[in-house]
Structure 1
Amino acid sequence: MFFEGSEKKAEVFVDPKQLSLLTDISDDFWAALVHCCNARILSSMHNRECKAFLLSESSLFVWADRFVILTCGETQLVKSLEYFIREIGTDKLVHLTYQRKNEYFSHAQPSCFGDDIKLLSHYVDGKALRFGEMDSHHNYVFHQDNAFKASPAHKTYELLAYQISPLASQKLTTPGLTAAQIREFLQLDRLLPGFTLDDFVFQPYGYSVNAIYKHNYLTIHITPQANSSYVSVESNLNLIERAPLILEILQPASFDLLSFNEFDFAQQTAQFIPDIYISKSLVKETLSNNYQVYFANYILPQNSFSRATQIDVAGDNHAL
């Protein structure tokens, strides 16, 4: 069974003098927005600073002046962005950033990054960049090109883990596994002390969790199948400092780190990333919207030969 865990991501800022996304926008609006990309809301939670929606394909977080949405599978997140712009209007839009990373099964996607940014360009002027090499892990970033300048204090982090260990994959595909058991395996009490959690176990496999505390958020999405395992962690908490625990649990064969406005990226990765991983790709760029973006791909070198993967000639063609 194959599932595309790789996510598209968007962050949209609005003018808080004209609109509060927390108080002026109904949950029905967010449900309609999510529906536009072929996903649905499973559950939600909130505090005074943030609303968090758990989706059938990833997550949506809303603050008064902005929202962040991630969707996986074969969703078309760009359609949700188009809905938001049409309904809210470009006059209230302050800034938009759209990301998309390389996928396992890109041929199964209804659009590519180029298609997506052509659609967005009908509504906003923007610039696009690729972080990483085409023949390896890479991440595309499109951002609106206007007078917006990001605050240096606005930091976000992404840790994307590939080919988690056979032990982790076996644990996370155990029949009948409960949310409580997955929380314990991921040591979420250590990772997120004091946070409120909302999670969901998918059938037959898969797990998502949203976590919020005041304005802080963290979300984890797990596709545990051994042939295409992938775990994404996204947060405004420093994930570089938390990487040793995450990597100890998942033991991935490779992972990506992407940060916005973490100015000590090099020093922190040198301090916190285990020596067993080596850096294969390092990219640094300051965007015209004032975000300083770092991208790094790490691999766990193989010291012994592995076996070739047997392919079901009759049944696996859709994944080739």
Structure 2
Amino acid sequence: MAGFEGFEKRLELQFTGHDDEDHSPTSDLGLRRLCFQTLESILHLVQCTVVSAVSNHYFDSYVLSESSLFIYPNKIIIKTCGTTQLLKSVRPFIRHARDLGLSVCGCKYTRGSFIFPDSQPYPHSSFKDEVVYLEESLPDHLCYKKATVMPSNLPSMTWHVFAAADESHLLDNFSGDTYTVEVCMTKLDQTLARKFFRRPHDGKGSDLAGKEMTEITGIGDINPNALICDFAFDPCGYSMNGIDGDRYSTIHVTPEDGFSYASFECIGSAYDVGRVVKKAVQVFRPAIMSVALTCPAGRRDLWARIGGALKPMGYKCRSCVADEFPTNENIVFQTFSTRMN
């Protein structure tokens, strides 16, 4: 029997219909007007549920039974693991957004290589099936599309990307120093991974057990300014969403021996990319990992800061590839391993 699939599928949908340039709290909640019952119905199609939630003035954050959901006024980010059918959320999200007067203008789907690919149901049975499903689900005006598999020197680590945009999103000036980083870690240090197991019959709720895991593992130190919503699964496993102003971070852990996996994702600023990734990696000390950095065009230089931060920890960069996408972003995909791997 296959173990639990830790590698997440990640979907980001961008919408227009209100002041996208104003990142301060406004009276126009946009997508945040989607009621909880609507979200539940969409998540039911995906085959996951909400287990915890927290919000601020900028966005709503949900910890799911299998990963995370973030809803901004003009953007939805959802990532799910296991055998969830994430792409079944595309059509209903677009339909319900249309009812709110919002139109989809950009889409990006990313994932790593599954540990147990044969266990994935349609449309996640192959990247080709995923791309066909996305193309059939998106409206025709998202006519600028690109699908690619970014390779590496580690056969178990490849990065799959599909991006689509309409003309307005394509021509939008995506600038600044903001990045999104997705770190996928396997073969976790066994001693550190044990911290994500609960003691049998501990009598604690999942929220309290999760808070203790956040403290004893050092996850709370990655961004001390973040408000953390954490959740511990029984008998093992952990998820957290952190919110800091208009930026999020999220961690998900599958600690079982043989298929241990942890992911870290966040939005940040260029100056801290190396420091943040280093702090996250220190929590797990994986033998193998990939880092996918999404950044504005012209800022590929940020990848060097990640390698520079990981090298003193004993990690060697095994491969580095970069590509441009119609969402006005570059993705730099790197793989690392300890020197004995």
Shift, 1:279, TM fit: 1.2
Shift, 1:26, TM fit: 1.5
Question: 2:205 — aligned with what?
Answer: none
Question: 2:293 — aligned with what?
Answer: 259
Q: Which amino acid aligns with 2:246?
A: H
Q: Which amino acid aligns with 1:253?
A: A
Are 1:77 and 2:100 counterparts? Answer: no
Question: 2:97 — aligned with what?
Answer: 88
Shift, 1:239, TM fit: 4.6
* Equivalent-residue separation in structure 2 for 1:194 and 1:266 (angstroms): 24
Contact 1:16 1:64 (C-alpha < 8 Å) held by counterparts: no
* Equivalent-residue separation in structure 2 for 1:53 and 1:279 (angstroms): 33
* Equivalent-residue separation in structure 2 for 1:243 and 1:145 (angstroms): 29
* Equivalent-residue separation in structure 2 for 1:56 and 1:75 (angstroms): 10
Contact 2:18 2:30 (C-alpha < 8 Å) held by counterparts: no
Deviations 1:173-198 (A, max 9, x none): 25257223311233133212122111
Contact 1:219 1:233 (C-alpha < 8 Å) held by counterparts: yes
Question: 1:269 — aligned with what?
Answer: 306
Question: 1:171 — aligned with what?
Answer: 195
**Which has the larger displacement, 31-40 or 173-182?**
173-182
Deviations 1:152-207 (A, max 9, x none): 23521111111111211223225257223311233133212122111111111110
Q: Residue 248 of structure 1 aligns to a residue in which SS?
A: helix
Shift, 1:100, TM fit: 2.0
* Equivalent-residue separation in structure 2 for 1:31 and 1:278 (angstroms): 43
Are 1:66 and 2:100 counterparts? Answer: no
Question: 1:127 — aligned with what?
Answer: 146
* Equivalent-residue separation in structure 1 for 2:4 and 2:58 (angstroms): 33
* Residues 176-215 of structure 1: pairs in structure 2 closer than 5 A: 176=200, 178-215=209-246
Are 1:12 and 2:13 counterparts? Answer: yes
Contact 1:157 1:234 (C-alpha < 8 Å) held by counterparts: yes
* Residues 1-320 of structure 1: pairs in structure 2 closer than 5 A: 2-17=3-18, 20-89=29-98, 92-110=103-121, 111=124, 112-124=126-138, 125=143, 126-133=145-152, 135-147=155-167, 148-149=169-170, 151-153=174-176, 154-176=178-200, 178-237=209-268, 238-261=272-295, 263=299, 264-275=301-312, 276-302=314-340
Contact 1:100 1:113 (C-alpha < 8 Å) held by counterparts: no
Q: Structure 1: which 5+ runs fail to align?
A: 304-320
Deviations 1:244-268 (A, max 9, x none): 2222231110111111116232331
Shift, 1:22, TM fit: 4.4
**Which has the larger displacement, 103-112 or 185-194?**
185-194
Deviations 1:93-132 (A, max 9, x none): 1111111210110100003222122111113343201112
Contact 2:68 2:250 (C-alpha < 8 Å) held by counterparts: yes
* Equivalent-residue separation in structure 2 for 1:246 and 1:16 (angstroms): 36
**Which has the larger displacement, 217-226 or 229-238?**
229-238
Contact 1:159 1:255 (C-alpha < 8 Å) held by counterparts: yes
**RMSD value over aligned CA atoms?**
2.2
Shift, 1:136, TM fit: 3.4
Distance 1:228 1:97, change over 3 A: same
Contact 1:36 1:83 (C-alpha < 8 Å) held by counterparts: no
Moved over 6 A (4+): none
Distance 1:229 1:281, change over 3 A: same
**Which has the larger displacement, 159-168 or 146-155?**
146-155
TM (norm. structure 2) is 0.82
Distance 1:23 1:204, change over 3 A: closer
